[in-house]
Homo-oligomer: A and B are copies of this chain.
Amino acid sequence: MTALEKASGKLGAEMRALCLAARAAAATLAGAKPEQRSEALKQSAAAIRARHAAILEANYRDLELAQNDKPTSAMTDRLMLDDRRIEAMAHGLDELAAFPDPVGTVLAEWTRPNGLHISRVRVPLGVIGIIYESRPNVTADAGGLCIRSGNAVILRGGSESFHSSRAIGDALEQGLESVGLPKAAVQLVPTRSREAVGHMLAMNDLIDVIVPRGGRELIERVQTESRLPVIAHLEGVCHVYIGSKADPEKARKIVLNAKMRRTGVCGAAETLLVDRAAAKELLPALLSELHHAGCEIRGDETVRALDKQAKPATEKDWFTEYLDAILAVKVVDGLDQAIRHINHYGSHHTDAIVTEDKDAAEAFLDKVDSAIVLLNASTQFADGGEFGMGAEIGISTGRLPPRGPVGAEQLTSFKYVVRGNGQVRP
């Protein structure tokens, strides 16, 4: 189906109308004063709190419907809202309200010899399409980030969280309208049909950027089908490299945290590289501690000689994002091999070195080609909140900006404003 054919059906026409409303709202939101966007966020937070019962009720409906699909406990946990989670959404919106408004900031300015004054001014991206899975709180987080950055947003949440997202969306609409901003600045796709995603991906004249948040299958579908710029990361095959001059205690703490704090997040370490010079001294105790913490170890030959419990790692393991309590472990011959391994097998997401050797540290930070590189710190810091960005919509491993954690400031572009007094070009 071509974009035109897709848009010709009933759903296509509906999606097109939604996008047109978003475009109009985007212009209004971008032109609003920063305080107005802040107030809309505060009022949205208040509306979330006021609609507490309605949100729980909607969530209960989603949870009941989900029973038909025999959900795993992890799925139910993602979908479920409670008092704490509802308050967390409201609190997040309040925090965004207090966060500096990025729109209109002059990023650079200079005057040319001919008197032209040029400034690079931050502007919103326009209309952002966000496609996510079952967590209903993303509706508030992503909607809030878009209000803060002056963008209109079309939210397409998971079908399991349809009613919960709708109830949260109602609160955001109320927040926008209470300060005189168009409610179409935050719109939810009004159907559970998966076809709606196809329509969004084809709407390249009306949507400016697509942000898919979810599993590999979703990201791949979006990257393959979309003609639009995509802000995403496919996966996070994150590494910790213990260098020859690592502090053993730092190494121990960092590896355990990077792997085991939460195993399902994109910044969780999936592969541990250990310098041969440090392996014998460090690995046996470290791996034993990981086993005790419930982590499976898949090692190369050297690792298996030091740890009888370790399973053999295959070539595929070095490429794998487990998102689980499994760690691939390899002994490497020095810094260069570590860097080559990471750049070859990794996903350019987040990688750390543990070392007290300054030169080795700087070489690693310089040569590892990832969005985030860390020295003596856990890879689990890969998070917009931890970076001080207020909140994030995700982490991008794309080469073009925005790269790394994507917060409100990163959901903007810029324009050049040139002021003259009659200059013409010779």
Known: A399-B209, A414-B401. Is A386-B112 also a contact (CB below 8 A)?
yes
Nearest-neighbour CB distance to chain B for A4, whole angstroms, equals 14
Q: Report B-chain residues with C-beta under 8 Å of the C-beta of A373.
A: 415-418
Give bound CA distance, A403 to B343, whole Å. 29
Q: Report B-chain residues with C-beta under 8 Å of the C-beta of A116.
A: 377, 381, 386
In the complex, the answer to whether B371 meets A416 with C-beta atoms within 8 Å is yes
What's the number of copies of this chain in the assembled complex? 2
Residue from B125, B249, B377, B424 within 8 A of A420 (CB atoms): B377
Most buried by B among A400, A414, A420: A400
Nearest-neighbour CB distance to chain B for A286, whole angstroms, equals 14
The answer to whether A376 has its CB under 8 Å from any CB of chain B is: yes
Known: A380-B425, A388-B110. Is A420-B374 also a contact (CB below 8 A)?
yes
Residue from B126, B227, B425 within 8 A of A224 (CB atoms): B227
Give bound CA distance, A208 to B403, whole Å. 13
Give bound CA distance, A381 to B361, whole Å. 45
Q: Report B-chain residues with C-beta under 8 Å of the C-beta of A365.
A: 417, 419
In the complex, the answer to whether B110 meets A381 with C-beta atoms within 8 Å is no
Mask, A350-384, CB within 8 Å of B = 1, is 00000000000100011101111111111011010
Q: Report B-chain residues with C-beta under 8 Å of the C-beta of A424.
A: 253-254, 256-258, 261, 377-378, 380
Q: Report B-chain residues with C-beta under 8 Å of the C-beta of A371.
A: 415-416
Known: A110-B388, A126-B399, A424-B257. Is A381-B413 also a contact (CB below 8 A)?
no
In the complex, the answer to whether A423 meets B381 with C-beta atoms within 8 Å is yes
Nearest-neighbour CB distance to chain B for A51, whole angstroms, equals 31
The answer to whether A311 has its CB under 8 Å from any CB of chain B is: no
Q: Report B-chain residues with C-beta under 8 Å of the C-beta of A415.
A: 369-373, 403-404
Give bound CA distance, A423 to B27, whole Å. 43
In the complex, the answer to whether A366 meets B31 with C-beta atoms within 8 Å is yes
Q: Report B-chain residues with C-beta under 8 Å of the C-beta of A423.
A: 376-378, 381
Nearest 5 interchain pairs by C-beta: A377-B420, A257-B424, A250-B422, A380-B425, A374-B418
Can you show 9 pairs from A to B with CB atoms below 8 A apart? A27-B343, A118-B388, A126-B399, A208-B400, A250-B421, A371-B416, A373-B415, A373-B416, A399-B413
Binding site for B on A (CB under 8 A): 27, 31, 110, 112, 116, 118, 123, 125-126, 208-209, 223-224, 227, 229, 247, 249-250, 253-254, 256-258, 261, 343, 361, 365-367, 369-378, 380-381, 383, 386-388, 398-405, 413-425
